[in-house]
Amino acid sequence: MLNTRFFGFVDNVMKAFLTPVMLGKQRSQMNQSVCYDINRITEWQNLIDVEIDNEEISNGIREQEQDVRQILFKSLIKNISPEAILEVWFV
């Protein structure tokens, strides 16, 4: 299981303090934390032209508001030539 592979030490500590039901819930949460749904974006060139207003993205989380610029694909690749990009994946 992923919880013992990546979180072995934490899993051992939790065994001493949690009931079997709660331990199972925590293990499930740890397993889900390393699993992601990904999709390949075939027409990523269109993402370069996307402009999103900061208020449109904001959901009230201060840390997210500070990092909004990093969310835009254009800002992520501004120092990379488009020819160097082989694939783009959405996580």
pLDDT, mean of residues 67-72:
57
pLDDT category at 24 given cuts 50, 70, 90 is very high
- pLDDT higher than 60, residue 59: no
Q: What is the pLDDT of residue 64?
A: 53
- Domain edges within the chain: 2-33, 39-90
Secondary structure (DSSP) of the chain? -HHHHHHHHHHHHHHHHS-HHHHHHHHHHHHHHT----EEES-GGGGGG----HHHH--S-HHHHHTHHHHSHHHHSTTS-GGG---EEE-
pTM of the model: 0.45
Q: What is the pLDDT of residue 56?
A: 52
Residue predicted with more confidence, 53 or 29: 29
